[in-house]
Amino acid sequence: MKIALVGNQNSGKTTLFNRLTGLNQKVGNWAGVTIEKKSGTLKGSQHEIVDTPGVYSLNAYTLEEQVTHSFIESNECEMIINIVDATSIERGLYLTTQLLEHNKKVVVALNMADIAAKRGTEIDCEKLSNSLGVSVVKISAYKNIGMKELLMAIENAEIRSEQFIDCIREAKDNEEVAVIRYDFIEKIVEESIKVKKTITITEKIDKVILNRWLALPIFAVIMFLVYFLSVGIVGGLTVDLVGGLFESAGAGLSNWLISIGASGWTVSLLVDGILAGVGAVLAFVPQLIILFLLITLLETTGYMSRIAFTFDILFKKLGLSGKSLIPFIIGIGCSVPAIMSTRTIENKDERIRTVVMTPFVPCSAKLPIIALFSGFFFGNNAGLVSASLYFFSIIVIIISALLMKKFVFKNSSGTFISELPDYKMPSFSYVLKEVWDKVFAFIKKAGTIILLSSVVIWFLLSFSIKFEYGVDIQDSMLALIGKGLSWLFYPMLGTFSWEATVSAIQGLVAKEQVVSSMAIIAGLGSDMTEGILGSGVFAFFTSASAYAFMVFNLFSSPCFGAIAAMKKELGSTRKLLLAVTFQTTLALILSYIVYGVGLLIGG
Amino acid sequence: MLISVNIQLTQDFRFDIMLIKVNIGEFMNIVHLSDLKKGQRAKVVSLYNDNAELKQRLLDMGIAKGVVIKVKKTAPFGDPVNIELRGYQLCLRKKDLSQIDIEVIE
């Protein structure tokens, strides 16, 4: 039997889904975390549970509503677990009244019943169950309360047979239907629920967080902390530490391989190819742990919704929504989930603009590039320079938003519809799992795509076009490819460098691959004791071209993963091509300008 | 007990008077949800929005004729507005609130 898990956004569907199936799905404390349906098997049974995106109704206006609606309508779905937030029952039951009309078995799960009880809300499940005609169970998915009762209700669920609310048939328009539904709900809520008015902790916290004078400083401090701890000094220290470990591992491996008599190309493939390429990326793991930990905390506590609420007025002026800020912040970690999270933006134009601009945020994979160049060229000012790139990306987002508003989407007026959820203490185990998942995905990428690309790069670098091994890298296949395209990069580098050219292009595979590729080229082509940028092949870099090169990598087309996510959200290949062309052209122009300005100030 | 009944009656009476005022005064006395100040409560009289999709969304979120809405706070920089209805918190832009007609309760 297939069971659909249906409920409002932010009602705890995903938490319940994880409880019931044992899977670990993404949980957040802002509306719209689940964007596609996911399924898993109900623990201890054969039933399949399908987690659907959160919806407020089945009117099929939004994408999420369409996904949910068509699944419930299908013959596949035999039963519905309707999850209702016990702290806002009245609104939640609106969807329930619609679900009851689908001739499917329904069980209503009142989630967060513990929080509602703590606030003094008394819910009479039996009365509610009688009025609705289906079983109603109090649960707390987060605290694992009421699961046994819910499972029993699932086994004994029945289809409500009679027509649900009679007079709906006589309603003359949608508005009247909504009024009838809500009138019915008001009546049964009055009979079965007693609410006590209390000032919640959330209201007290909001007095500070959403205070006119404090909102902006608090946001600035939080974002600075995220930066300082992950990208800034603390994160930088961890990278140096792990990077050093890989370096000595490389030297050790090389010595050992030579001592056992391995052939020259084996040593080269393992040390200069694989270890250099993969190690350059893995050095960033501790930094990513910190970054993902902080972003997960922002997501689960409920602060994200406040940020959207606070900054909507500014984003409106840019033709965006306050909710655009959520993908931008998640984008500091990774563009892929960030692009997917744009689904919660109501207006289609605002959503498309946000999708196109999300990759402008320096994601964690771009960190290796930023760290490498700013560390080498700007010494004591490295922190300042890498911070400046974040501000650069903010300015570019503002300017391109204004450009798009003026030229591409002229007459659209957006809306902002957002719930303000209560603050929640994040669950320790969930946060750990979430961080582990993201970091593991990164490590997996290093072990698969980056490893493979590293081998390919090593191969293309070690062999000539006639497949002779051991040629000078100037005569390698990769050099040939790079030389053909290096004119594009001349205006930002001040020289023709096929090495930098091929590395930048590999940013398409994954942004961290840029650094991997540079490490392999430097290792094969020259002495690397002074680091990647100290080696002969990259000695041409000046601070001006270094900054310009960073700018190009920051704003050019994102990696394949993000491109796939963009295609899904934009909906057409044509729009995707337009977006990627826009991004790459902008990146080229900006990097040329940066280099020119850099030369003028004498960098 | 008696006192509470009394209050109930006066409130209903006040509603009637306001309704009459709105009818007589035609457009002059129509108040929009965007005019409501922090802490004030009002009852929705009608909502009109040329955007059918948006109107349906607002209906689905519980903003239907007769619902009582309280303004909790405005965003730190003046817009959107945080309103409370049906026991939950919703945020909407003033522009959209201005297309909802209300009668003020208190």
What DSSP letter does each residue of A439-467 carry, written as one string?
HHHHHHHIIIIIHHHHHHHHHHHHBBTT-
Give the minimum alpha-carbon distance from B101 to chain A in angstroms, rounded to a whole number: 15
Distance CA A553, CA A20 (A): 43
Other C-beta atoms within 10 Å of A277: how many?
29
Distance CA A395, CA A138 (A): 49
Q: Do B59 and A312 touch (CB under 8 A)?
A: no
Nearest to B93 among A182, A206, A415 (CB): A415
Q: Which residues contact A285 (CB under 8 A, 6 or more apart)?
A: A242, A439, A442, A443
Q: Do B66 and A179 touch (CB under 8 A)?
A: yes
Give the minimum alpha-carbon distance from B24 to chain A in angstroms, rounded to a whole number: 25
Q: Which run of H or of E encompasses A85?
A: strand A77-85
Distance CA A105, CA A134 (A): 8
Q: Do B80 and A91 touch (CB under 8 A)?
A: no
Which two structure tokens, joined as six digits, stand for A208? 């500070």
A112: chain B residues, CB-CB within 8 Å: none
Query: Which residue of chain A is at minimal alpha-carbon distance from B45?
Result: A179
Distance CA A401, CA A353 (A): 7
DSSP one-letter code for A284 = T
Q: What are the distances in angstroms from CA A466 to CA A273, A456, A470, A520, A551?
A: 20, 16, 12, 21, 36
Give the minimum alpha-carbon distance from A207 to chain B in angstroms, rounded to a whole number: 10
Distance CA A303, CA A287 (A): 23
Nearest to A313 among B66, B75, B86 (CB): B75
Distance CA B46, CA A175 (A): 10
Q: Do B73 and A206 touch (CB under 8 A)?
A: yes
Query: Which residue of chain A is at minimal alpha-carbon distance from B72?
Result: A203
- Residue A37: the pLDDT is 66
SS3 A160: coil
- Residue B19: the pLDDT is 52
B81: chain A residues, CB-CB within 8 Å: none
Closest CA to A456 of A436, A484, A478, A437: A478
- Is any Cβ of chain A less than 8 angstroms from the Cβ of B69? no
Find the chain A residues whose C-beta atoms sit closer than 8 A to any C-beta of B.
56-57, 59, 61, 85, 87-91, 94, 174-175, 178-179, 182-183, 195, 206, 210-212, 215-216, 309-314, 316, 322, 346, 413, 415-421
Give the minimum alpha-carbon distance from B81 to chain A in angstroms, rounded to a whole number: 8
Amino acid at site A280: A
Distance CA A64, CA A581 (A): 29
Query: Which residue of chain A is at minimal alpha-carbon distance from B58?
Result: A417
Q: Do B79 and A415 touch (CB under 8 A)?
A: no
Other C-beta atoms within 10 Å of A87: how many?
23
- Is any Cβ of chain A less than 8 angstroms from the Cβ of B97? no
- Residue A559: the pLDDT is 86
Q: Do B80 and A175 touch (CB under 8 A)?
A: no
Nearest to A313 among B54, B58, B77 (CB): B77
Tell how far CA A132 is from the center of its chain.
39
* Helix ranges (DSSP H) in A63-200: 63-73, 89-99, 113-118, 125-132, 147-155, 174-192
End-to-end CA distance of chain B: 22
Amino acid at site A439: V
Give the minimum alpha-carbon distance from A94 to chain B in angstroms, rounded to a whole number: 8
pLDDT (average), residues B56-67:
92
A322: chain B residues, CB-CB within 8 Å: 80
Other C-beta atoms within 10 Å of A451: how many?
17
- Residue A291: the pLDDT is 85
Query: Which residue of chain B is at minimal alpha-carbon distance from A196?
Result: B87
The rounded mean pLDDT for chain B is 79
**Higher-scoring residue by pLDDT: B15, A548:** A548
Q: Which residues contact A22 (CB under 8 A, 6 or more apart)?
A: A40, A43
- Is any Cβ of chain A less than 8 angstroms from the Cβ of B53? yes
A421: chain B residues, CB-CB within 8 Å: 89
Q: Do A56 and B82 touch (CB under 8 A)?
A: no
Q: Do A416 and B65 touch (CB under 8 A)?
A: no
Q: Which residues contact A603 (CB under 8 A, 6 or more apart)?
A: A542, A543, A544, A547
pLDDT (average), residues B22-40:
70
- Is any Cβ of chain A less than 8 angstroms from the Cβ of B56? yes
Query: Which residue of chain A is at minimal alpha-carbon distance from B95?
Result: A415
- pLDDT tens sequence across A257-292: 989 888 888 888 888 888 877 887 787 788 888 888
Q: Do B66 and A88 touch (CB under 8 A)?
A: no
Contact between A5 and A16 (Cβ < 8 Å)? yes
Q: Do B60 and A94 touch (CB under 8 A)?
A: yes
Rounded to 5°, angle at Cα A356 from A355 and A357: 95
B53: chain A residues, CB-CB within 8 Å: 61
- Residue A535: the pLDDT is 76
The residue among A55, A417, A422 with the most chain B CBs within 10 A of its CB, best to mutate, is A417
Give the minimum alpha-carbon distance from B38 to chain A in angstroms, rounded to a whole number: 13
Distance CA A461, CA A597 (A): 34
Give the minimum alpha-carbon distance from B74 to chain A in angstroms, rounded to a whole number: 9
- Residue B74: the pLDDT is 94
Which two structure tokens, joined as six digits, stand for A36? 């596609």
- What is this structure's pTM? 0.83
Q: Do B79 and A418 touch (CB under 8 A)?
A: no
With a cut of 70, list the residues of chain A below it in pLDDT.
23-37, 60, 161-166, 409-413, 526-529, 603
Distance CA B66, CA A565 (A): 43
